[in-house]
Amino acid sequence: MPVSHPTVYEPLTEQGAISLTVRLGLFPEGTPLACREIGDGNLNLVFRVVDQQTKKGIIVKQALPYAKVVGESWPLTLKRAVIESNALRTFASYVPQYVPKVYYSDESLAITVMEDLSHLQIARKGLIEGKTYPLLSQHIGEFIAKTSFYTSDFGMNQQEKKQLAQSFVNPELCKITEDLVFTDPFFNHETNNFEDELRDDVEALWNDDKLRLEVAKLKRKFLTEGDALIHGDLHTGSIFASDEETKIIDPEFAFYGPFGFDIGQFFANLLLNALSRPEQQQEPLFAHIDKTWDVFATIFSDLWRTHNVEPYAKTEGLLEDVLHHTFIDAIGFAGCEVIRRTIGLAHVADLDGIEDKEERLQAKRYALRLGRSLILQRETLSSTKEIRSLFAQTVLA
């Protein structure tokens, strides 16, 4: 029986996802296929279509016209599916080893069909189980260094960069970050979500004028600095990992933003995991932060010296200045993300999953203090190694 294929947007069903993969010739005719919706993110439907004999799978991802985490009352552009597939393709041109292969995308149906990564685990889940993923930071550092350098004014033709930046203008998704990461948690806003027991700590944040000024400066950077094509939502739930492999997914928040943003979000989510662990098990997370920065700075600097297109590139001190500001910004962005994941919308399981209520509240109080210290003291840190002592002071204070 012929199957009809929608040409105007409608949410896919499991049968619809199977039909699509067959129509695209991704499975041979007659393959016994099964499909399940496996999306556990905040925004999209994710179908896994599997050949029941070989167990080989394909992922069909579809954007919903609203934010799943909130419901239909929060409409959200479908254009984010095009941003996501184009970002995956752009990243793949520099670091194919770190992103899933895209087989097909359809703008009007907001669909991306891509490689199944089920042999890997979402890094957040693994880290919560106590895994350490020895190559995670090596891979993330390389991913960020290469994608940011090659899409920046230092790594590509500066006219083409402007055109690329235009194709990644992403106002709706940027607004989510502007609101949820940089604004709402620092005001008494209805999107915030925290336990009554934290009210005093949260109100202290809202009344902290020094903090408010620094967050405003960081938000301004996010709003205005178009250094490079960044992922825009690089938390540990956007990373599939194993001991050998790392794949970065879900770049629907991608846009031209500040160099330090992805690094900061990654740092923050490692720190949130560290806050959920006993002290003796925290070191691998700090080591990942050190390594991410070291790898990023080393590769970025090598590319700067060997592939730079900007006439000022060899000017004494310019690379150091770029790295210095990227570092400080990353620490500040990390502070905002730590606070946001604790009291704002879209928490993390690292903290919310702590079963004992008193321990959970304590970890969240530490997170608020840590976030604040990262933001206020970002310019005093001279290396990632010092994050350990900042963390210890916060937790012991």
- Using CB under 6 A as the criterion, which residues of the chain lie in contact with ligand SR1 when the complex forms? 42-43, 67, 69-70, 176-177, 180, 233, 345-346
CB of 260 to ligand SR1, least distance (A): 17
CB of 69 to ligand SR1, least distance (A): 5
In this complex, which beta carbon is closest to ligand SR1, that of residue 223 or of residue 318? 223
CB of 370 to ligand SR1, least distance (A): 19
Between the alpha carbon of residue 72 and those of residues 6, 8, 76, 110, the distances in Å are 22, 19, 9, 17
CB of 80 to ligand SR1, least distance (A): 11
In this complex, which beta carbon is closest to ligand SR1, that of residue 26 or of residue 215? 215
- Which strands, in side-by-side order, build the sheet including 44-51? 33-37, 44-51, 57-63, 111-115, 102-106
**Are the beta carbons of 380 and 359 closer than 8 angstroms?**
no
Nearby residues of 336 by Cβ (< 8 Å), 6 or more positions away: 181, 182, 185, 215, 218, 264, 268, 371, 375
Rounded to whole angstroms, how far apart are CA atoms 352 and 363? 10
CB of 42 to ligand SR1, least distance (A): 4
Closest CA to 214 of 381, 340, 389, 331: 331
In this complex, which beta carbon is closest to ligand SR1, that of residue 233 or of residue 329? 233
In this complex, which beta carbon is closest to ligand SR1, that of residue 16 or of residue 344? 344
In this complex, which beta carbon is closest to ligand SR1, that of residue 156 or of residue 349? 349
Rounded to whole angstroms, how far apart are CA atoms 288 and 135? 9
CB of 45 to ligand SR1, least distance (A): 15
CB of 160 to ligand SR1, least distance (A): 29
User: Does an H or E element contain 122, and which?
Assistant: strand 121-122
In this complex, which beta carbon is closest to ligand SR1, that of residue 174 or of residue 363? 174
Nearby residues of 10 by Cβ (< 8 Å), 6 or more positions away: 109
In this complex, which beta carbon is closest to ligand SR1, that of residue 175 or of residue 210? 175
In a 3-state reduction of DSSP, which class is residue 110?
coil
